Structure 1
Amino acid sequence: MDSAQTLPVHLTVCGSCIDTHCEGEEGLGGGAKLHTYLEYQLADHPYKPFIKLQSHRCLMACAHGCTVSVCSKGKMKYLLGNLPADENMAAQILDFAALYFDSQTGVTPNHEWPGTIGMHFLGRIPPVDPVEGDWNDEGGDL
């Protein structure tokens, strides 16, 4: 954990997302279900002070539900999609958020990504206010 880092990681879950992996429960779509799993696991996560979890009505990636955005001021931003609304994926998202927090630019080496999260990246968006760092490092080690 980088104690010099002070800006939080914002995890935003699409609250109205359907879950492309299952039909959800009565009155509870996949996005809301995933948010609940994240909220529960974040309570005991070592990076809890540095992760801000929120729900947003719609992230406009409906063909790829469930979706989550990962961002922090001055860092690369990510959109993840086609996420199963389950405990395992919630743990992987939080572990990725921890790697992201520790990265100066938000770019993390793909060999460090937890589980199958790499299959769920829909895109990344460069920041309008980049921090100092090596922006040519793509984080890939292929």
Structure 2
Amino acid sequence: MGDTPSQSPEPVVLTVCTTCRPEGADPEAIRPGRILADRLAGAPLPEGVTVRGVECLSACSRSCTLHLSGGPERWSYIYGDLDPDTHLDDILAGAAAYAATDTGFVPWRERPVVFRKQSIARIPPVSMPGVELSPAAASNASSEGSDAPTEMPPAALAQD
């Protein structure tokens, strides 16, 4: 049998909020996210990476946010408290490392510091199976007045 050509991975998208601003910032000033989006759009992006600006990522308290995604088979990430003056190179390096994966998972120590320290959320791939839930166990726990979590499989407890 012949080799099957490998499928190219889904494109990676850096989605940047262009409307949020730090608390106390001049409401008439150009928003940091807009500056970041424009700088990313003008930068030499890693292969397969595109940039888009959106009006809101609903992470206003973590002003200057971006969402890193790459299709239904990859983890997605939301990062906040970004600075367009100091984080551009790290964002590009993080996007390149992410784009080089099939799963979107870059080992923690291999991520730029800004991606390690300023992560707001890690979102599982759509295709990832969920943890088995037991509604009966939840209703028993609530009727017993227990706030203790039910036991979870070790894989569900994996740290990012």
Q: Shorter-chain TM-score category?
A: 0.7 to 0.9
Q: Partners in 1 of 2:25 and 2:70 — Cα distance?
A: 32
Partner of 1:78: 77
| Alpha-carbon RMSD | 2.6
Do 2:9 and 2:102's aligned partners in 1 also have CA atoms closer than 8 Å? no
Q: Partners in 1 of 2:61 and 2:83 — Cα distance?
A: 14
Q: Partners in 2 of 1:70 and 1:80 — Cα distance?
A: 8
Q: Which contiguous aligned blocks of 4+ residues in structure 1 show a shift greater than 2 angstroms?
A: 3-6, 22-27
Of 12, 21, 25, which aligns to 1:9?
A: 12
Paired residue total: 127
Q: Tell me, which stretches of 5 or more residues in structure 1 are unaligned? A: 131-135
The CA deviation at 1:24 is 6.8
Q: Partners in 1 of 2:115 and 2:27 — Cα distance?
A: 24
Partner of 2:145: none
The CA deviation at 1:4 is 5.7
Q: Partners in 1 of 2:18 and 2:26 — Cα distance?
A: 13
TM-score (norm 1): 0.77
Q: Determine which structure has greater relative contact order: mean sequence separation of CA pairs < 8 Å that are 6+ residues apart, divided by chain length.
A: 1
Do 1:65 and 1:83's aligned partners in 2 also have CA atoms closer than 8 Å? yes
Q: Partners in 1 of 2:26 and 2:51 — Cα distance?
A: 21
Q: Partners in 2 of 1:82 and 1:39 — Cα distance?
A: 19
Q: Partners in 2 of 1:118 and 1:126 — Cα distance?
A: 17
The CA deviation at 1:27 is 3.8
Do 2:22 and 2:61's aligned partners in 1 also have CA atoms closer than 8 Å? no
Q: Tell me, which stretches of 5 or more residues in structure 2 are unaligned? A: 1-5, 129-154
**Identical pairs, percent:** 29
Q: Which amino acid aligns with 1:89?
A: H
Do 1:75 and 1:104's aligned partners in 2 also have CA atoms closer than 8 Å? yes
1:123 aligns with 2:121: yes
The CA deviation at 1:119 is 1.1
Larger Rg: 2
Alpha carbons of structure 1 residues 116 and 24: separation in structure 2 relative to 1, 3 Å = farther
TM-score (norm 2): 0.69
Do 2:18 and 2:55's aligned partners in 1 also have CA atoms closer than 8 Å? yes
Partner of 1:108: 106
The CA deviation at 1:85 is 2.3
